[in-house]
Structure 1
Amino acid sequence: MTFKNKFPAVVLLVFTSLILTAISCSSNSTEDHYLFSYFTGNGENGLHLAHSTDGMNWEAINEGKPLLEPKVGEDQLMRDPSIVQGSDGTFHMVWTVSWGEKGIGYAHSEDLINWSEQQYIPVMEHEPDALNSWAPELFYDEAQKEFIIVWATTIPGRFPETDGQDGDQYNHRLYYTKTKDFNSFSDTELFYDKGFNVIDGAIFHTGDQYAMLLKDETNEPFPPQKNIRLAFADKVEGPWSEPTEPITGDYWAEGPTILNIDGRWHLYFDKYRQGSFGVLVSDDLEEWEESSENLEMPEGIRHGTAFKVSAEVFEKLSEL
């Protein structure tokens, strides 16, 4: 009698354990994987990657060592690495090669480990007075099946009404070029000019619209801006809207990048004067919650791009 009462309980316990194990395995196999491309220091040692499954806790890949060393440009830097995956699965990356050159860096990879020969793209060489080509951002436009590269350049005297807005020689506007194959490029054109010094234009999709994160670089007149704003457009080439009010707080912020995780927008940015990283979370791109105190990032991280990858891509990276 006692044996009969206990037997069903034992079977139930074993069955429950098997079900929980199956659920756990299933959950792990469908886990989302996010990567963050970044640089450290001045960008002299190359490309770094971090990994996360929840967008809040990030760990350095390859024990924090760079995966690719810079080879192009006079200064051979690899700052602001922006990575986008094309429709064929290939990863494409652009970056800042120097503080004062007229081109940017480019390379591609199938697995983010083995990279192509690096290429110097002379995006502003046609402008004899251009001072720089900073923080290129890469976006793949599904509608046109082409890539668009957006970056910031100062051309002294081109926008005299805002000369001196950063308290120095720089007075940036955003420029762009398009390409389908990274061999031929459209002519460089002005991309975003709303009458102020602007850098860090990062494009993403939201519904049937395009959105762009940007940094207001205005330093003068007082108070300085140095904040992140948004702009919107129906087409990737614009026309783009006036910027929103600042969405970052009372600190200097730059290098924005964004992920949509479980229906919520996660906006990451570099609190570069504080030597730390921040994150804002939103359901609608209008109301934002500061969640920086819950964000864990690798030591020494500087800004780049957050993007989602397959489990297969991450598994290869995790073996490094």
Structure 2
Amino acid sequence: MKKLLFLSFILFISFNVNAQKNYIFAYFNNNGQDGLHLAYSKDGYQWTALKNDKSFLTPTVSKDKLMRDPCIVRGADGLFHMVWTVSWKDKGIGYASSKDLINWSEQQFIPVMAKEEGARNTWAPEITYDEATKTYMIYWATTIIGKFPETASKADDGYNHRMYYVTTKDFKTFSETKLLYDPGFNVIDATIVKDKNRFVMFLKDETREPDQKNLKIAYSDNLVGPYSKASPKITGNYWAEGPTTLKIGNDWLVYFDKYRDHKYGAIQSADLVNWTDVSAKISLPKGIRHGTILTIKKKELKKLLAVN
């Protein structure tokens, strides 16, 4: 009996050690001029800035040299791949890769909207990997002058975004740019994750007249779409943007930037329909602006913690 209890205890400890996650939040501060910031968490709620909240990578590409909205994913090749917003008004995005989130490749400018003469911007790019096709999709929000006049507005400087994308297998050659999602309203800040046999898109309804400025969800059986009609809003009576999500056990946790209130918020759901505000339970570095969350290995976190 003692031997059985001992083995059960060992299995319990082993399961919990293996189950513990190491989360990294990639984000920016201020206008993104100093580059990539990272924070870590063991539970997905309490976050601590790494490197005393100093930048891990200084931006070098585009005229404005910004690094806003960083999105990092671990690729099928084992590398970390990152894209970001390089400017408020450029026609491309930034890209770099790393083995350890510390030492990065030479930064590249990917001119994803260069062929669109009327493209005003390229905002908040993200990457999602499709295991079925062994392909990465990079997607972002752009306003193209004269497109989608049914939702045109003079508010917010006349921006009227839709989501666009390219695909790649190696981050060296890219497909032609295509429209990813037109929900019938001004949309930005999409992030897409796989959920069993479907893809879930969290997005921001950017409509200014009348005010929306909230988060919604759309679904698709395929990464490149088509995506469903957007759900009712899942956030409350405040302006929210920059969603990023992780799943802890059976619960979805969505973080977002309450940018008018200069703080972060979070909501939780077990079914993606009924949401509970858990903003009071989270703690993040002061001044954090939105980015993305990913999971790393214990040895990778240990190396990051050693960086001064």
Short-chain TM bin? over 0.9
**SS of the counterpart of 2:284?**
coil
Show the 5 A alignment for 1:52-201.
52-164=41-153, 166-201=155-190
Verify: 1:211 aligned to 2:200, yes or no. yes
Contact 1:166–1:218 (8 Å) recurs in 2: no
Matched, 1:258 2:240: no
Secondary structure at the counterpart of residue 57 of structure 2: coil
- Deviation (angstroms), 1:206: 1.1
User: What is the one-letter code of the residue matched to 1:75?
Assistant: D
**Aligned-partner SS, 2:158:** coil
Matched, 1:232 2:219: yes
Shift of 1:284: 1.0
Bigger CA drift: 203-212 or 19-28? Answer: 19-28
User: Take 1:241 and 1:22, find their aligned partners in 2: how far apart are those partners?
Assistant: 43
- Residue aligning to 1:312: 299
Counterpart Cα distance in 1 of 2:118 and 2:87: 16
Q: What per-residue deviation string (whole Å, max 9, x for no partner) do you get for residues 15-36 of structure 1?
A: x9xx999987985575310010
Whether 2:41 is the aligned partner of 1:41: answer no
- CA change 1:317–1:98 in 2 (3 A) is same
Considering only CA atoms, is the larger Rg found in Structure 1 or Structure 2? 1
Q: C-alpha separation between the residues in 2 aligned to 1:20 and 1:69?
A: 47
Corresponding residue of 2:269: 282
Structure 2 CA distance for aligned equivalents of residues 309 and 194 of structure 1:
34
- Structure 1 residue 146 displacement after superposition: 1.1
Distance in structure 1 (CA, Å) of the matches to 2:154 and 2:301: 43
The Cα of 1:159 is off from its aligned counterpart by 1.0
* CA distance in structure 2 between the partners assigned to 1:282 and 1:29 by the alignment: 24
State how far apart, in whole Å, the 1-side matches of 2:187 and 2:285 are. Answer: 28
Q: Residue by residue, what CA displacement relative to the aligned partner does 1:173-197 show, whole Å, maximum 9, x if unpaired?
A: 0000000111100000011002110
SS in 2 for 1:273: coil
Q: Which ranges of structure 1 fall in alignment gaps of 5 or more residues?
A: 1-11
Could you tell me whether the CA contact under 8 Å between 1:165 and 1:197 is conserved in 2? no
Q: Distance in 1 between matches of 2:184 and 2:269?
A: 28
Output the CA distance in 2 between the equivalents of 1:193 and 1:209: 19
Task: Look up the match of 1:5.
Answer: none
Q: Distance in 2 between matches of 1:201 and 1:26?
A: 34
CA deviations over 1:267-313 (Å, ceiling 9, x no partner): 00000000000111111111111000111000110000011111121
> Which moves more between the two structures, 113-122 or 310-319?
310-319
**Residues in 1 aligned to 2:197 and 2:9: alpha-carbon distance in whole angstroms:** 40
Tell me the distance in 2 between the aligned counterparts of 1:87 and 1:31.
22
Counterparts of 2:162 and 2:15, CA distance in 1: 48
Aligned residue identity for 2:124: A
1:165 Cα offset (Å): 6.7
Within the candidate set 287, 290, 295, 1:303 is matched to: 290
Q: Which residue of 2 aligns with 1:7?
A: none
Which deviates the most, 161-170 or 65-74? 161-170
Amino acid at match of 2:180: F
> What letter matches 2:240 in structure 1?
A
- The offset of 1:201, in angstroms, is 1.1
Question: Residue 206 of structure 2 aligns to which amino acid in structure 1?
Answer: E
Q: Which amino acid aligns with 2:298?
A: A
Change (3 A) 1:216 1:165: farther
User: Which stretch has the larger CA shift, 28-37 or 48-57?
Assistant: 28-37
Would you say the 8 A contact 1:165–1:171 is kept in 2? no
Following TM superposition, where does structure 1 have runs of at least 4 consecutive aligned residues deviating by more than 4 angstroms?
A: 19-30
Q: How many residues align?
A: 302
Listed one character per residue, the Cα deviations across residues 216-274 of structure 1 (whole Å, up to 9, x for unaligned) are 00001x2x000000000001111100000000000000000100112211100000000
